[in-house]
A and B are shown apart, each in its own frame.
Chain A
Amino acid sequence: MTEHVTGGSLYRKEPKIYPRQVSGRFTRLRVVAVWVLLGLFYLLPWLQIGDKQAVLFDLPARKFYLFGLTFWPQDFVYLALLLITAGLSLFFFTALAGRLWCGFACPQTVWTEVFIRLERLIEGDRQKRMKLDAAPWDAQKILRKSVKQAVWILFAAWTGFTFVGFFTPIHELGNHVLSLSMGPWETFWTIFYGFATYGNAGFLREQVCKYMCPYARFQSAMFDKDTLIISYDTERGEPRGGRRKNVDPSEAGLGDCINCTLCVQVCPTGIDIREGLQYECIACAACIDVCDQVMDKMEYPRGLIRYTTEHSLKHKQAHVIRPRIIVYGMLLLALVSGTVWSMTTRVPLRADLIRDRNALYRELPGDVVENVYTLKITNMDDAPHRYTMTVLNNDAVEVDLARPLELAAEEVAGVSVRLRIPKAAGQGVQTLDIELQASDDPSIRKVIEAKALMPMEIGKQP
């Protein structure tokens, strides 16, 4: 018996995994996911709407542009909602279909897939890569390894550049790169993100999933016996063993597993799925694809390794709709529809009336009391507007603005406001409802409350 830790065997060495290439339904699905997700990542920053970048997180200006919408720091609540939605979706899809995220959507998987493809392109398939690694450093090996490193570094650098392109207008950034005049922060973040991509997808790969990823550790808490898992059908497969094609397995006392070990060879995390569900399994379904092909060749039915549930493996009724699915689903639906509703009814105007801290009030001739405020007004729209300001619950109040409320697109202004209130309005603290409205677009309207202080007159009860 050889120790499993050290090499010696041509086919396997514990520390390094050479995933064998595989094709099939789920592999095609992953290729589609890689193209869509990475396509979005690499192309989105180049998309322009009008003369603005469609997706731009302008941190210095504290504004996020998202397909024609502008988000301000005050819209922070949407970010929080987005994060909660993302978390809840992870719960929902994990309960329903297991580690879909890991196998098809996680950046770690997606970028590793690309790096492995590049590696395969340059160094050849599994056998060739293993031979190359075992071979002495001759000219051929040096050439292949350096070409691979160069391609990896180039791809990682492009990734870093694209990442920074979400925060700095990417056309500008491109010009800076071409003219070698990138700012220090642009340079730092490009290198940082590029390095992280290279390290994670080129070197760490499955180690991130096995040792570092918290999701891998607590996803089991979201699982139940009806969650889709990738599983080897022990009942059907065992006892495993090699055989000739014309042998009838039941006569030879064998199960359907021919022990070709291809499921182990294709596994990117290097586990043996036949050992049962393991936390290292990222549910990429490569073993399903390869096993199905072997079953086809042996003319056995497919699905010795398949997506199934613990219940159906035990020949029990499987339930798709179950309490946790309903609860997660309802919460998700409420959250998403609430967010969409609130975003569509969002008014691109923000106003706060802040009392002048230095004076309580001033009594003017003619039984009028003056309160002074600063109006902090933000035009969150991408067009200029002129606003009117009226007091809704008291027609007699006179509004005196220090200057007209004309704001350029995305302008923030502080305007001094004097409210002159007849004494008849009352004593002590009075609440005024103040309406701000764009004169060119009545739908841009906001009602804010202002507290006005009025003199207390002894002997007269309010």
Chain B
Amino acid sequence: MADEKYDESAAIPGRWDQRKRDIGTILWIAFLAACAGTFVIFAVLDPEALNDAWVLPWEMGRRLAYSLGFLFLFMVSLVASALTVFMIRTGPPSGHARGRGKPPQPEIRSPEEENPDLDIGDLR
């Protein structure tokens, strides 16, 4: 019943490996977040009305502003999503908090214990 030995090299057709799952999740979640953000922002804000105060030297039509707004939000959420996955993948393994992964610390003792001649008194 236990772990049946499985063949690492033979991927099961139709199943995604971890990297593929990560990329898919990053893209999809970032896209959803950008959509929600675009809806909310442009529901309360008319880009045409901003034309006078626009920092950029050219005037922007609504369609262009909506598209750029969406792309910008998509980029930002992509960075956030990707970094999040990166941090989780490169972080400590699960079970870390219960002591898995890193070797235990050496037992810390008084420096003089094994070194009777070492006077650490003035080692502040």
Cross-chain contact A262 with B114 (CB below 8 angstroms): no
Contacts of B124 in A (CB 8 A): 21-23, 125
Cross-chain contact A4 with B120 (CB below 8 angstroms): no
29 A-B pairs with C-beta separation under 8 A: A3-B99, A3-B104, A4-B99, A9-B107, A12-B105, A12-B108, A22-B124, A125-B124, A214-B83, A217-B86, A217-B90, A217-B91, A218-B86, A242-B114, A243-B114, A244-B116, A245-B115, A246-B117, A258-B115, A258-B118, A259-B114, A260-B118, A261-B108, A261-B109, A264-B106, A272-B105, A274-B106, A297-B118, A297-B119
Query: Which residue of B is nearest A5, CB measured?
Result: B99
B17 within 8 A of A: no
Docked complex Cα distance between A14 and B123 (Å): 24
A12-B105, A12-B108, A241-B114 are contacts. A293–B123 as well, Cβ < 8 Å? yes
- Encode contact with A along B89-116: 1 for CB under 8 Å, 0 otherwise: 0111000001100011111111101111
Q: Which 6 A-B pairs have the closest CB atoms?
A: A242-B114, A4-B104, A260-B111, A245-B117, A11-B108, A73-B55
Cross-chain contact A262 with B99 (CB below 8 angstroms): no
Docked complex Cα distance between A332 and B67 (Å): 34
Q: Which residues in A have some Cβ–Cβ distance to B below 8 Å? A: 2-5, 9, 11-12, 14, 21-23, 73-74, 76, 125, 211-212, 214, 217-218, 241-246, 258-262, 264-265, 270, 272, 274-275, 290, 293-294, 297-298, 352
Docked complex Cα distance between A243 and B111 (Å): 11
Contacts of B40 in A (CB 8 A): none
Contacts of B83 in A (CB 8 A): 214
Docked complex Cα distance between A245 and B117 (Å): 6
Cross-chain contact B123 with A262 (CB below 8 angstroms): yes
Docked complex Cα distance between A265 and B111 (Å): 10
Contacts of B113 in A (CB 8 A): 242
Docked complex Cα distance between A453 and B120 (Å): 88
Docked complex Cα distance between A293 and B108 (Å): 18
Q: Name 18 extra pairs, CB < 8 A, besides A11-B110, A12-B107.
A: A4-B104, A4-B105, A5-B98, A11-B109, A21-B124, A23-B124, A211-B92, A212-B87, A217-B91, A241-B114, A242-B114, A258-B115, A260-B111, A260-B118, A264-B108, A265-B108, A293-B123, A294-B111
Cross-chain contact A294 with B118 (CB below 8 angstroms): yes
Docked complex Cα distance between A5 and B118 (Å): 29
A252 to chain B, nearest CB (A): 12
Contacts of B98 in A (CB 8 A): 5
Contacts of B111 in A (CB 8 A): 260-262, 294
Cross-chain contact A272 with B87 (CB below 8 angstroms): no
Docked complex Cα distance between A242 and B118 (Å): 10
Partner of B115, one of A76, A218, A243: A243
Partner of A290, one of B104, B115, B117, B123: B123
A9-B108, A12-B105, A265-B108 are contacts. A74–B115 as well, Cβ < 8 Å? no
* Dominant SS among interface residues on chain B: loop
B57 within 8 A of A: yes
Cross-chain contact A261 with B117 (CB below 8 angstroms): no
Contacts of B86 in A (CB 8 A): 214, 217-218
Contacts of A258 in B (CB 8 A): 114-115, 118
Cross-chain contact A244 with B105 (CB below 8 angstroms): no
Cross-chain contact B87 with A214 (CB below 8 angstroms): yes
A11-B109, A23-B124, A214-B87 are contacts. A242–B115 as well, Cβ < 8 Å? yes
A212, A217, A242, A294, most chain B CB atoms within 10 A:
A242
Docked complex Cα distance between A214 and B80 (Å): 11
Docked complex Cα distance between A212 and B88 (Å): 10
A3-B99, A73-B55, A214-B86 are contacts. A262–B106 as well, Cβ < 8 Å? no
Contacts of B117 in A (CB 8 A): 244-246
Partner of A264, one of B105, B115, B116: B105
A211-B91, A214-B87, A260-B111 are contacts. A298–B118 as well, Cβ < 8 Å? yes
Contacts of B120 in A (CB 8 A): 260, 262, 294, 297
Docked complex Cα distance between A333 and B87 (Å): 32
Contacts of A21 in B (CB 8 A): 124
A350 to chain B, nearest CB (A): 9
A260-B118, A262-B120, A262-B123 are contacts. A275–B99 as well, Cβ < 8 Å? no
B32 to chain A, nearest CB (A): 23
A90 to chain B, nearest CB (A): 16
Contacts of A22 in B (CB 8 A): 124
Docked complex Cα distance between A22 and B120 (Å): 11
Query: Which residue of B is nearest A73, CB measured?
Result: B55
Contacts of A262 in B (CB 8 A): 111, 120, 123
Docked complex Cα distance between A25 and B90 (Å): 33
Contacts of A298 in B (CB 8 A): 118
Query: Which residue of A is nearest B54, CB measured?
Result: A73
Docked complex Cα distance between A242 and B111 (Å): 9
Contacts of B103 in A (CB 8 A): 275
List CB contacts (< 8 Å) of B65-85 with chain A: 83
Contacts of A274 in B (CB 8 A): 106
B6 to chain A, nearest CB (A): 30
Contacts of B118 in A (CB 8 A): 245, 258, 260, 294, 297-298
Query: Which residue of B is nearest A21, CB measured?
Result: B124
A397 to chain B, nearest CB (A): 23
B55, B105, B107, B120, most chain A CB atoms within 10 A:
B105
